[in-house]
Amino acid sequence: MNLFQVAWWNVRALRSRLLGLVAMVAVAGAVCLSAIGIASNAQGTTTSQVGESTANRSVTVDSPEGRPDTAQLTDATEKRLAKIAHVESVQHRLQVSMPVRDNPEGADLLYATTYRKALAPPVVKSVRKQLFPLHRGEVVFPASTHGVDLSSMVGRTVTVDAHRYVRPGVGDTVSDRVKVVGLYDPSWQFDGPDTAYADDATVVKWAAAAAGKTTDDYLRTSGWDQLTVVADSAAHVPGVLKAVQRMNYPANSLQQQLQALPGVLQLVSLTGNVLLGVLGVLAFVGAVTVTGALGRQRAQEVGILKAVGFRSRSVMGMLVAEMAIAGVVAAALGVVLAVGASSAAAAGLRRISDIAPYVRDTVPLPGTLTLISLSVATVVVVAAGAVLPARRAARMSPTEAMKDW
C-alpha cells in the first residue's frame, strides 16, 4: 500500500499516543496565532487609522490672533487655502468651553469642539454604528477625564450652561440640553484634554453667544480657531505647509502621531513573536520525543514491515508522514482554538478603553498568508523533528527488530 495511506491508518489507530503532541502543538499554536493576530490587527488598525490616514497628510493652521495683517480663519480663508496645489480638502475646527451642569460623574467643564473628518477621534462606545457626523444637539465625550470614568454617560442628556456676552464685564447664561451619543479614546489628544465633540451648529452657537455675536457675524469676523489642510499625499505635505506659512498663518504638520502601539499591545506583539519561537522548539522537541518513543515501542512493527518488503526509506517516510499528519491536525486544531482564544482575548482587550480603539470588532487572526505560512511551518517543523528518530528506527535490521515477537 501507499505509505501515506498506511501512515494515515497508523495515525488514526495510534491517535491516543499522538494526542499529547497534537494538544501541545495546537495549544501553543493557538496562543501564538492569537497574540500575533491581535498585535498585527492592532498594528493594521493604527496604520489604517493614522499612518496612512488624512492625519498623516494634514497641516494644522492656527488662528492668527495678534496679527492684524493676516485674515482670520473664516470661510473665505478656507476657500483660499483650498486653492493651494495638492490640497485635497480644508476642514475647520472651533472650540468653546462647555460647562456641564448636571454631570453626575462630576466632570463639569469640557470643551465643545467641532468634528473634523481628517482627524476623527477613535470611538470606543456609541449609540449607533456610524456616529459622525453628529446630529444637532449631540455630543461625544472622552471615555474618561481627570481620572473620572464617563462610560455611564452614553445615552444620557445633560444640561450645558453656555456663557453669553452682554457687554464688557456683564454676561449671562444660556442653557442647552445635549445628548451624549458616544465616547472616544481619551488618549486622543489632537484637540487637547477635556474635549467634547459636538455638531458644528451647536458649537458655533455657543461660541457666538460667548462673543456676543450672531452666528453669521461670528463666522464672518472671528471665524474658526483652527483649520486642517489635507494634502492629497503625504509627500506633498511639506510643500503645502510652506504655502500656508507663506500666507502668514502659523501652521505645522501632523506627521507624527500614533505610530507606536500602546504598551500592552507591544507586549502582546512581543509575546506572539516569542511564542512563535517557543512553538517551533516545542513542535520540534515534541516530534523528536514522540517519534523516538514510538519508534522504540514500535520496533517490532518496523521489523515486520521490513520483513514483508518495506524499504528502510519507506518505513522512515511512513514514520515522518505520520508526524506530518499529526502536525496538520495540530495546526488545524490550533487555528480553530486560535479563533476562540483570540476572540476572547480581543473581547477582554476591548474592555480597556486605552486599547479598545486598536482592537477591531472581528476575529483578530493574522492574514491568510501568515496563517498558511505558520500552519505549513508547524507541519514542517514537526515532520523535521521526526526525521532523525524515524531514520534510526527504519535502519534497524528486521530480524533484530522482530526479536521480541
Partner 1 sequence: MSTLLTASGIGKSYTLRGQRVDVLKDIDLAVAPGCVTALVGHSGSGKSTLMHILGLLTKPDTGRVELEGRDTHGLSDSALAELRRRRLGFVFQSYNLLPQHSALRNVLLPYTGRRREAEARARGLLERVGLGDRCEHRPNELSGGEQQRVALARALVNDPPLLLADEPTGNLDTESEALLLGLFREMADDGRGVLVVTHNQAVADAADVVHQLGRGAGLSAQDKTHGRSWARTGGSREGEL
Residues that bind partner 1 (CB under 8 A): 1-2, 6, 9-10, 13-14, 300-301, 304-314, 397-399, 402, 405
Please state the closest distance from residue 402 (CB atom) to partner 1, in A. 7
In the complex, the smallest distance separating the C-beta of residue 300 from partner 1, rounded to whole angstroms, is: 8
DSSP state of 224: B
| Residue closer to partner 1, measured from CB, 182 or 398 | 398
Torsions phi, psi for 224 (to 5 deg): -80, 155
For helices 3-13 and 15-46, what crossing angle results, to 10°? 100
Q: How far is the CB of 340 from partner 1 (least distance, A)?
A: 32
Residue closer to partner 1 by CB (options 70, 300) is 300
Nearest to 180 by CA among 212, 145, 152, 214: 152
What minimum distance in Å lies between the beta carbon of 386 and partner 1? 18
As beta bridge partners, residue 171 has 165
Q: Which residue, 71 or 304, has its beta carbon nearer to partner 1?
A: 304
What does DSSP say about strands 87-93 and 226-231: parallel, antiparallel, or unpaired? antiparallel
Q: Minimum Å distance from CB 301 to partner 1?
A: 6
Containing H/E element for 210? helix 200-211
DSSP 391: H
Cα dihedral value 299, 301, 306, 310, nearest 10: -120
CB 305 to partner 1: min, Å: 7
By C-beta, is 147 or 309 nearer to partner 1?
309
Amino acid at 297: Q
Provide φ and ψ at 12, rounded to 5°: -65, -40
Nearer to partner 1, 18 or 265 (CB): 18
Nearer to partner 1, 205 or 298 (CB): 298
Q: Residue 199: phi, psi to the nearest 5?
A: -70, 155
Contact 207, 94 (CB under 8 A): yes
The nearer residue to partner 1, 242 or 311, going by C-beta atoms, is: 311
Q: How far is the CB of 288 from partner 1 (least distance, A)?
A: 22
The dihedral region occupied by 86, where left means phi > 0, alpha psi between -120 and 50, and beta the remainder, is left
